[in-house]
């Protein structure tokens, strides 16, 4: 037993030493209205006093979360002897941050009752937490936006924007009743906490041979890709400006859903409503929110199209950060829309995960409109990408990607009686067994 205790004592001591070394997280908050900027320190030692690190203006302008990992060496009195960035994506900021970290103080590191020099990893996170989604406050900033209308537009661009605005007005005023098949293929990655580095010492730099210390570093990564595929009956009804969506699950990941479950209404984790994307970018009500630029013409399926790039004039203009639309030259129908945004309703899990790990989500939506009915273009396929910033592999990493196709449309008009609509929809849903095997067979099976 004595021999076992003698063997285990250094191990137990090392475990206690590692536990003692790690300090508690510190947080510094800079409140600026809609965004609360946070500086989070995960230090290897017990820190003393205020955080001396400032939130870089360069990162505020980018509006993304970012991480810096430092190796910090402290003296016996807890002052910083040296610090340098071990890993980051911003080399231009490293020298400044190293100098700010050098001004920090820590409690002396005690070993065998005596203060000794020590070194370890410290992570600093810069996190722009959105307090209120900007889309909900855009109207409050309307007066401020109107002050930015002095930007001149080319005559050709004005003509195209007017044509797009007429199209959006028609789309906005139309009562939409339709059902279609919605097929979704989705790839999702999960967050993993992995060990990526160790600092160990038994003598050496600033430490005597009889002094021991160890510091470990765990960081976040995205991995474990999961593939899922779904087929839904999708119904959209809009009347008097109010939209109701309904999805009935037909199949998932290569399996046909039982008759009992086929009638189950399933709410997806996202709500795209791609039919209305042009209105958010090109309607007359939105034009004062954005700056527009004409790019070189392109072709979509042999149709000549204008290409317009869109940027918000000020941050208060909404959550859209960048947009691009492809407009049919002949009649100003929208053929394609691409939107980068920081907020989408229905992604509660994404925002909770980002809040937990101090990450920023970035959404990219791409919609193709290839199905025409009464002068309105309906979506044929969409893609949604979600990226996270604030991890250490790259500035942005792909969290998930969903490819969506829409087919087998059935349209109903405003004048049709509700009972007739219900009867026609029941007939349509009864036919789904005819195409289910073909569609479900094409779904990827998860291994």
pLDDT in tens, the chain (447 residues): 444 444 444 433 443 344 445 667 888 998 877 788 999 999 988 889 889 999 999 998 888 899 999 999 999 999 999 999 999 999 999 999 999 999 999 999 888 888 988 888 999 999 998 754 444 433 333 333 333 444 567 889 999 999 999 999 999 888 888 999 999 999 999 998 888 778 777 666 677 777 777 788 888 889 888 888 989 888 888 876 678 888 888 888 655 555 444 444 344 444 568 888 999 899 998 888 899 999 999 999 889 999 999 998 865 456 788 999 999 999 999 999 999 988 887 788 888 999 999 999 999 999 999 999 989 999 999 999 999 999 988 899 999 999 999 999 999 854 344 454 555 556 656 655 544 544 444 444 433
Are residues 153 and 79 part of one domain? no
Are residues 11 and 102 part of one domain? yes
Confidence at residue 243, expressed as pLDDT on a 0 to 100 scale: 80
Residue 195 lies in a domain: no
Boundary of a domain, candidates 115, 131, 147: 131
Give yes or no for a contact between 233 and 245, defined as CB atoms under 8 angstroms apart: no
- Tell me the whole-structure pTM to 2 decimals: 0.78
Q: State the residue range of the domain holding 231.
A: 134-189+222-442
CA distance 424 to 241: 23
Q: Which residue has the tokens 């067994």?
A: 433
| Tens-place pLDDT, residues 151-183 | 567 889 999 999 999 999 999 888 888 999 999
φ, ψ for residue 231 (rounded to 5)? -130, 130
CA distance 393 to 223: 11
Are residues 234 and 139 part of one domain? yes
Boundary of a domain, candidates 107, 131, 155: 131
CA distance 429 to 181: 10
């Amino acid at each position: 037993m004595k021999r076992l205790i003698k063997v285990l004592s250094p191990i137990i001591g090392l475990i206690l030493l590692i536990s003692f070394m790690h300090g508690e997280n510190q947080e510094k908050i800079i409140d600026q209205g809609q965004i609360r900027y946070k500086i989070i320190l995960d230090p290897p030692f017990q820190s003393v006093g205020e955080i001396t690190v400032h939130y870089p203006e360069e990162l505020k302008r980018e509006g993304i979360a970012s991480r810096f990992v430092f190796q910090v060496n402290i003296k016996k009195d807890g002052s910083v002897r040296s610090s340098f960035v071990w890993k980051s994506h911003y080399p231009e900021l490293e020298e400044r941050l190293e100098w700010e970290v050098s001004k920090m103080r820590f409690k002396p590191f005690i070993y065998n009752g005596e203060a000794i020099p020590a070194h370890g990893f410290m992570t600093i996170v810069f996190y722009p937490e959105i307090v209120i989604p900007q889309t909900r406050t855009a109207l409050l900033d309307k007066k401020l936006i109107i002050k930015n209308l002095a930007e001149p537009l080319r005559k050709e661009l004005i003509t195209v924007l007017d044509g797009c605005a007429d199209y959006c007005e028609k789309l906005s005023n139309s009562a939409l009743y339709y059902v279609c098949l919605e097929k979704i293929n989705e790839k999702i990655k999960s967050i993993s906490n992995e060990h990526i580095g160790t600092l160990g010492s038994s003598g050496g730099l600033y430490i005597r041979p009889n002094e021991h210390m160890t510091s470990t570093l765990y960081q976040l990564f995205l991995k474990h890709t999961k593939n899922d595929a779904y087929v839904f009956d999708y119904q959209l009804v809009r009347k008097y400006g109010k939209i109701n969506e309904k999805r009935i699950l037909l199949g998932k990941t290569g399996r046909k859903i039982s008759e009992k479950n086929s009638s189950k209404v399933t709410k997806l984790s996202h709500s795209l409503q791609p039919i209305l994307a042009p209105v958010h970018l090109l309607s007359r009500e939105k034009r004062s929110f954005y700056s527009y630029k004409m790019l070189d013409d392109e072709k979509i399926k042999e149709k000549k199209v204008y290409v317009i790039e869109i940027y918000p004039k000020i941050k208060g203009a909404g959550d859209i950060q960048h947009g691009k639309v492809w407009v049919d030259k002949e009649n100003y129908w929208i053929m394609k829309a691409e939107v980068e945004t920081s907020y989408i309703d229905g992604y509660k899990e994404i925002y909770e995960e980002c809040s937990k790990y101090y990450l920023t989500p970035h959404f990219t939506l791409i919609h193709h409109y290839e199905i025409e009915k009464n002068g309105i273009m309906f979506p044929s396929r969409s893609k949604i990408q979600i990226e996270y910033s604030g991890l250490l592999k790259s500035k942005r990493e792909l969290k998930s990607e969903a490819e969506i196709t829409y087919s087998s449309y059935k349209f109903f008009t405003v004048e049709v009686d509700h009972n007739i609509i219900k009867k026609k929809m029941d007939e349509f849903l009864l036919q789904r067994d005819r195409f289910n095997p073909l569609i479900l067979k094409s779904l990827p099976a998860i291994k």
